[in-house]
Amino acid sequence: MKSYQATVNQQFEFTIDDLVNLDLVPLAGGQFHILKNGKAYRAEIVQTDFVNKQIILKINGTTYHIQLADAYDQLVKKLGFSAAVAHKVKEVKAPMPGLVLAVNVEVGQTVQRGEALLILEAMKMENVLKSPGDGMVKAIRVQQGTAVEKGAILIEME
């Protein structure tokens, strides 16, 4: 199993081992019922950003911003380096199957890292796909209402 670390609201850090004692039951619409130490919680996934490894959760009405770090991210941090390197992106692919709800860019538009490119609905959740790097939109291969498979090229960049 991969070793992930989660930083919540830039303050609290958790690992997969910290979550072992959770009793987690998925509900409809991206919601979950959680039991921990005899206390019940209702959680909802508000937004996911797979490119930047970020998740926004709402637990019992309170919003939490979660930054995930894989083994590589943790090693870079431990060594005191920064993994943030400006790189050119050639293609933006669908991280999961879904339906394109909106395309927020146009061909020829210059975009910055983190800028919203399109909204993809998957499992009744809206996922904002952001640009993983700086570049210019060369081609848009989908339009609003298009159903896409995981790995499908959505936008070409140059």
pLDDT tens across 28-86, in order?
888 999 988 889 999 998 888 877 788 899 999 999 998 888 877 777 777 776 555 55
Q: Does 145 lie in the same domain as 103?
A: yes
CA 15/CA 147 separation, integer angstroms:
35
Model pTM score: 0.50
pLDDT tens across 95-142, in order?
899 999 999 999 999 998 889 999 999 888 898 998 888 889 999 999
Q: Does 95 lie in the same domain as 66?
A: no
- Decide if 85 is inside a domain: no
Q: Does 72 lie in the same domain as 14?
A: yes
Q: Does 67 lie in the same domain as 111?
A: no
- Decide if 27 is inside a domain: yes
Single residue among 30, 56, 78 that ends a domain in this structure = 78
CB 57 within 8 A of CB 63: yes
CA 120/CA 152 separation, integer angstroms:
12
User: What's the confidence (pLDDT) of residue 1?
Assistant: 44
Single-letter amino acid, residue 41: Y
CA 113/CA 84 separation, integer angstroms:
11
Q: Range of 22's domain?
A: 5-78
Q: Does 66 lie in the same domain as 100?
A: no
Single residue among 56, 78, 100 that ends a domain in this structure = 78
Q: Total domain count for the chain?
A: 2
Single residue among 44, 78, 112 that ends a domain in this structure = 78
CA 125/CA 153 separation, integer angstroms:
20
Q: Does 152 lie in the same domain as 98?
A: yes
- Decide if 150 is inside a domain: yes
pLDDT tens across 93-107, in order?
998 999 999 999 999
Closest CA relative to residue 66, chosen from 50, 52, 58, 54: 54
- Decide if 83 is inside a domain: no
Q: Does 146 lie in the same domain as 98?
A: yes
Q: Does 43 lie in the same domain as 15?
A: yes
User: What's the confidence (pLDDT) of residue 88?
Assistant: 62
Closest CA relative to residue 94, chosen from 154, 51, 157: 154
Sheet holding 116-122, edge to edge: 125-130, 116-122, 98-103, 147-148
CA 113/CA 24 separation, integer angstroms:
34
